Amino acid sequence: MPVTIKDIAKQTDVSHSTVSRALHGSPLIAKNTAERIRQTALELGYFPSAAARSLKTNRSQALGVIVSSVEDPFFSEILQGIEEVAQKSGYSLFMAASQRDPEREQAIVQAMSEHRVDGVIICSASFKAEQRRQFLAYGVPIVVVNNQAAEDYRYSIYHDDVDGSRQITRHLLDLGHRRIAYLGNSSSGRTTLDRLTGFQQEMDTAGLVVPPEHIHEVSGGGPEDGLAGLEHFLALSVRPSALVCFNDMLAIGVLKGLQQAGIQVPNEFSVTGFDNIVFSAFTNPPLTTFDQPKRFIGAEAARLVLELLNTPPAEDSSVQSQVRMLKGRLLVRETTALPAASSPRAPSPVLEPGLPRGNRDYPAGTGTTTRKS
Amino acid sequence: MPVTIKDIAKQTDVSHSTVSRALHGSPLIAKNTAERIRQTALELGYFPSAAARSLKTNRSQALGVIVSSVEDPFFSEILQGIEEVAQKSGYSLFMAASQRDPEREQAIVQAMSEHRVDGVIICSASFKAEQRRQFLAYGVPIVVVNNQAAEDYRYSIYHDDVDGSRQITRHLLDLGHRRIAYLGNSSSGRTTLDRLTGFQQEMDTAGLVVPPEHIHEVSGGGPEDGLAGLEHFLALSVRPSALVCFNDMLAIGVLKGLQQAGIQVPNEFSVTGFDNIVFSAFTNPPLTTFDQPKRFIGAEAARLVLELLNTPPAEDSSVQSQVRMLKGRLLVRETTALPAASSPRAPSPVLEPGLPRGNRDYPAGTGTTTRKS
DNA sequence: GGGATTCGTGCACACGTGTGCATTACCTGT
DNA sequence: ACAGGTAATGCACACGTGTGCACGAATCCC
């Protein structure tokens, strides 16, 4: 029903090929003919059919984004970064939520394959190898963001969780804490392992042994899971004096639990989060956390896919896989303090400037690593 | 490069038409031929090209979703509802964020038109009439969600904000409050007006006059805007005893401001939100708010578009426009109490059951209105 | 001024899929 | 055995766009 180039051709008494070329600014067409054609195209309200074009060019001008849950504010911000870059480059986004359900994943892969997306960005922890293979089978560049066994994919961009967790832990150590515990989220794959690793590395360096009951995992990443996880630690005979939480949402649940239990934060107990989601600045007290450059991560992921699109499969055999690792920064707010009956060691490393939201977009501390695979 | 039906045709020694029919389960094809074809299709890893198909059928199997900001947790939940229904019906989603920027809106409309989306859902307050016209020009069903001058569109689905705001206000009146103020968000169009209307209606009914300085608007809907808005009220010579906030995010900022000012909530000051976003249950104290069935709203919007797709333009002249209005429910938590030095009037209408997150998806209190336009 | 070159345009085919119509083979009834 | 019918398949065109090639006309060179 919409206007086609044939309609324009009739109107201007030329062939449809001439119209096609004119609209593409081909130098073959006479200046005034082209102008006339462009004019009537505008008048008729013409816009090209992406379907027809992608049939010929094998380019759909669309990227697929797979996320585990739209609701998660962490992914929302990454999505935002992706969206900005894609839109600026004239790409549209196919979005789908896997809900960590393999069946849905399968359906999503199918749908995106059918729509012949030019590239895919995966922000889902639980993405199965089988689905990935189907994508690769038809030769689409894939970039994974965080939360993934990066080694399985050729291109990935992620945040240096080990480093972040070390900074968080060191901050607590510097304050004088000795009995520090870790609360993980078993459903987020490698991410929780990396953060645990950073935690343990720093405890090792400080010469401290972490008893096994000071490491606990829950099966989700929401506030309610944090609430549940806290109970484990409160029931211990030797309670920790500080708790490093896998992410901000868990920490928010923990804060609520502590308040219900009548335990003062940070005077009696210190808590840290991870990610710096918007609301972490508005808890009571405001949450000490690690600021991941979420938007920037998303933007980088989008840039990487687009880059891969423009460098055709010049990948013969000695393929280079690219992994970009971004660093964030520690954000000291008010849920951490010296432990009860102890003396301070060192001052807070970074005081948060201005509005308590953290920066939204910064390339500081970015590192790119290229390695053979 | 991917496998086509022609490849399958060669492999099975039939024509491509036969393959096409076999894969569609046409009764014209012999049982065993069809089976053989389906088998080899599976072996070759065939999946149809959406581009080619939509070229013939004029169906792209994709819906466009336009949102003002991905970051807003309110939209995230609506998006979730849309996504679920769309996925279940085999539709993919084109997602784009307008950022309230007319230029971007234009680009989005263009991109979605080119991709020939089958339908559009708009969840953006500031969507210009011009863009809408371009959509209508090529005959795409449009459904708008909330936040919009619903009268401009034929199909819309929204939440009964007036009712919600009345319930919130009545709750405060029942507790004994008399000096109640309203904090709005000037950038969210009709929504803030509806909520203000509900507030004023209920105050009128109670025979109370609201002084103009007790109605204040800020230009955004984030926590930082709430913080700024609170200052206006604290500076008044006659302070209100309760504040009705446009949404939860403003309320969260207000809570922080009150805490900084050393004012006790709810003993010295009551605060209410609106929307029941996830984090409203985890503020300190937990926020009294109005629970919009966000997910359900999204799902209903998706259902409505799909429904419109399946009823071809049987719209001659006496067009029926459809407006579905959903109702939410009051969620009394702990930021509201009797005003200082006053006596109670009535008990809380609804006590929240179970986990303090509110329900996620319910059709209770749903009403559908159909009217001539 | 005639052949070679450039410029502007149209013809025809291709991309992958769907479908009306024609064609063939086989079966049924008399 | 032959007409008529049904079942199964292929042919050819269409959807809207892009592009190699050919063709005609104008221009240029010597």
Task: Kindly state whether B224 is in contact with chain A, defined as any CB-CB distance less than 8 angstroms.
Answer: yes
Domains B60-159+295-326 and B161-291+328-360 agree in fold: yes
Give the distance, in angstroms, between residue A28 CA and nucleotide C7 C1'.
Answer: 8
Looking at the predicted structure, is the pLDDT value of residue A365 above 60? no
Q: Compare CB distances from A70 to B79, B255, B355 and report the shortest one's residue.
A: B79
Task: Kindly state whether A103 is in contact with chain B, defined as any CB-CB distance less than 8 angstroms.
Answer: no
- Chain centroid to CA A288: 20
**Buried b or exposed e, range B286-296, using 16+ CB within 10 angstroms:** bbbbbbbbbbb
Looking at the predicted structure, is the pLDDT value of residue A373 above 60? no
Predicted local distance difference test score (pLDDT) of residue B319? 57
Among candidate residues A319, A335, A250, the one with its CA nearest the CA of residue A284: A335
Task: Kindly state whether A323 is in contact with chain B, defined as any CB-CB distance less than 8 angstroms.
Answer: no
Q: Is the domain defined by B60-159+295-326 classed in CATH 1.10.760.10?
A: no
The arithmetic mean of pLDDT across residues B220-242, rounded, is 95
Taking the C1' atom of every nucleotide in all shown strands and the CA of A114, the nearest one is: C16
Per mean pLDDT, which of A37-41, A218-222, B267-271 is the most reliable? Answer: B267-271
Q: What's the pLDDT band for B266 if we cut at 50, 70, 90?
A: very high
Predicted local distance difference test score (pLDDT) of residue A341? 61
Write the DSSP symbol of residue A346: S
Residue owning tokens 């609520």: A256
Looking at the predicted structure, is the pLDDT value of residue A357 above 50? no
CATH topology of domain A5-48: 434 Repressor (Amino-terminal Domain) (1.10.260)
Q: Is A15's CB less than 7 Å from nucleic acid strand C?
A: yes
Per mean pLDDT, which of A71-80, A123-132, A143-152, A295-304 is the most reliable? Answer: A295-304
Q: Compare CB distances from A252 to B1, B69, B282 and report the shortest one's residue.
A: B282
| Interatomic CA distance for residues B242 and B173, integer angstroms | 10
What residue type is B94 in one-letter code? F
R_g over Cα of chain A: 26
| Interatomic CA distance for residues A245 and A224, integer angstroms | 13
Q: Compare CB distances from A282 to B45, B73, B252 and report the shortest one's residue.
A: B252
Task: Kindly state whether B62 is in contact with chain A, defined as any CB-CB distance less than 8 angstroms.
Answer: yes
Predicted local distance difference test score (pLDDT) of residue B360? 42
Instruction: Name every chain B residue with its beta carbon within 8 A of the beta carbon of A49.
Output: 55, 114, 116
Best residue of A66, A68, A279, A357 to probe chain B, by most B CBs closer than 10 Å:
A279
Give the distance, in angstroms, between residue A14 CA and nucleotide D4 C1'.
Answer: 52
Q: Is A13's CB less than 7 Å from nucleic acid strand C?
A: yes
**Which residue has better confidence, A351 or B334?**
B334
Min Cα distance A94 → chain B (Å) is 5
Report helix, strand or coil for B106: helix
The partner residues of A217 in beta bridges, in order of sequence, read: A184
Other CB atoms within 10 A of residue B156 CB: 23
Q: Where are the extended beta strands (E) located within chain A? A: 62-67, 92-97, 119-123, 142-145, 155-159, 180-185, 215-218, 242-245, 270-272, 289-291, 320-326, 329-331, 366-372
The arithmetic mean of pLDDT across residues A9-26, rounded, is 92
Task: Kindly state whether B223 is in contact with chain A, defined as any CB-CB distance less than 8 angstroms.
Answer: yes
Partner-chain contact A70 B90, CB within 8 Å: no
Looking at the predicted structure, is the pLDDT value of residue A136 above 70? yes
The domain ranges of chain B are 5-48, 60-159+295-326, 161-291+328-360
Task: Kindly state whether A229 is in contact with chain B, defined as any CB-CB distance less than 8 angstroms.
Answer: no
Q: Are A321 and A151 in contact (CB under 8 A)?
A: no
Partner-chain contact B96 A83, CB within 8 Å: yes
CATH topology of domain A161-291+328-360: Rossmann fold (3.40.50)
Q: Are B33 and B14 in contact (CB under 8 A)?
A: yes
The arithmetic mean of pLDDT across residues A67-74, rounded, is 88
Residue B30, CA atoms < 13 Å, CB-side half-sphere:
4
Partner-chain contact A278 B223, CB within 8 Å: yes
